[in-house]
Amino acid sequence: MRLQDRVCIITGGAAGIGAATARIFAQEGAQVVIGDVNENAGSQLVAELGNQAAFYKVDVVNRQHVQAWIDDVIARYGRIDVLINNAGITRDGLLVRVKDGELVKQMPEEDFDLVVAVNLKGVFNCTQAVAPYMIKQGHGGAIINASSVVGIYGNFGQTNYVATKAGVIGMTRVWARELGKYGIRVNAVAPGFILTEMVQKMPPHILTMMQERTPLGRLGQPEEVARVYLWLASDEASFVHGAVISVDGGIVMGT
């Protein structure tokens, strides 16, 4: 029961790694607060977890919406101990595609802007809303940001996604410097290829390629990332601060 009676917020908590995290945190005694745009999946997960969980439909891009959500969580539970900035999306595409020397396609500006808004500004919005409450509480807290292995090594066809995940690492290091004096630990996790619901829908040859790129010879499970979130959120990681922990089976991203 490493998170007994702690209030833990998980963005993007309705499915994938977020849902696995919600389940494990609840098993460890936490009061889990899930924020997600997927109302159906979120409501089903809360029904599964019972009184230890609550769901809010939240768009992390909307600053006012995020602030109202966090204010309501404080009014309801009186504290926030852990923030997991897990929400994220992809809109993959090449920067430019050229055939016979002529431009035939490029990454749409709206795809770049949307991924930046969710994956980067969303993390900023949620952290800036939560941090003042954590400071005021006076007993510290833990903020854990979802980066990605591609934020460290880059990846073909993911200019927008890589920019956000590298940016998350940068923000993590800044916030570790700024918030450490309040006892708030800030860390990032960088998953590799993880077998979420979204990944399971990919063509078999893509899944095979992912496995071949991973030295352990398999894809990761959502629970394997969630357990690292758990460790970072718990007192067991009490002196881990400003770190970026890869959960990737040893992968080094190539082209």
pLDDT bracket for residue 255 (50, 70, 90)? very low
So what's the pLDDT on residue 90? 92
pLDDT in tens, 90-125: 999 999 999 999 999 999 999 999 999 999 999 999
Question: Looking at this protein, which amino acid is placed at residue 106?
Answer: Q
- List pLDDT tens digits, range 203-222: 888 889 889 889 999 999 99
Q: Is the dihedral of CA 36, 229, 64, 161 positive or negative?
A: negative
For residue 253, the model assigns a pLDDT of 65
Percentage of the chain surpassing pLDDT 90? 90
Sorting pLDDT into bands at 50, 70 and 90, what band is 183?
A: very high
Cα 118 to Cα 15, 37, 172, 188, distances in angstroms: 16, 11, 16, 17
> What pLDDT sits at residue 200?
83
Residue 254 has pLDDT above 80, yes or no: no
Q: Known catalytic residue: 153? A: no
C-alpha–C-alpha distance, residues 222 and 119, integer Å: 18
Identify the residue with better confidence: 212 or 134: 134
pLDDT of 224 > 50? The answer is: yes
Stretch 48-70: mean pLDDT, rounded? Answer: 97
Tokens at 65, concatenated: 């919406």
Please check the confidence at residue 128 and state whether its pLDDT lies above 70. Answer: yes
Asked if residue 22 has pLDDT above 50, the reply is yes
- β-strands 31-36, 7-11 pairing: parallel
List, in order of start, the domains of the chain with CATH numbers: 7-246 (3.40.50.720)
Q: Which candidate in 153, 161, 182, 229 is catalytic?
A: 161
User: Do residues 186 and 232 make contact, with C-beta atoms less than 8 angstroms apart?
Assistant: no
Identify how many contiguous H helices and E strands the chain contains and give both numbers: 10, 9
The reported pTM is 0.95
Percent of the chain's residues with pLDDT above 70? 99
The 3-class secondary structure across 107-148, one letter per residue, is CCHHHHHHHHHHHHHHHHHHHHHHHHHHHHHCCCEEEEEECC
Mean pLDDT, range 159-167, rounded to an integer: 97
Nearest-5° angle of CA 221, CA 206, CA 97?
A: 125
**What pLDDT, in 10s, does the model give residues 230-242?**
999 999 999 999 9
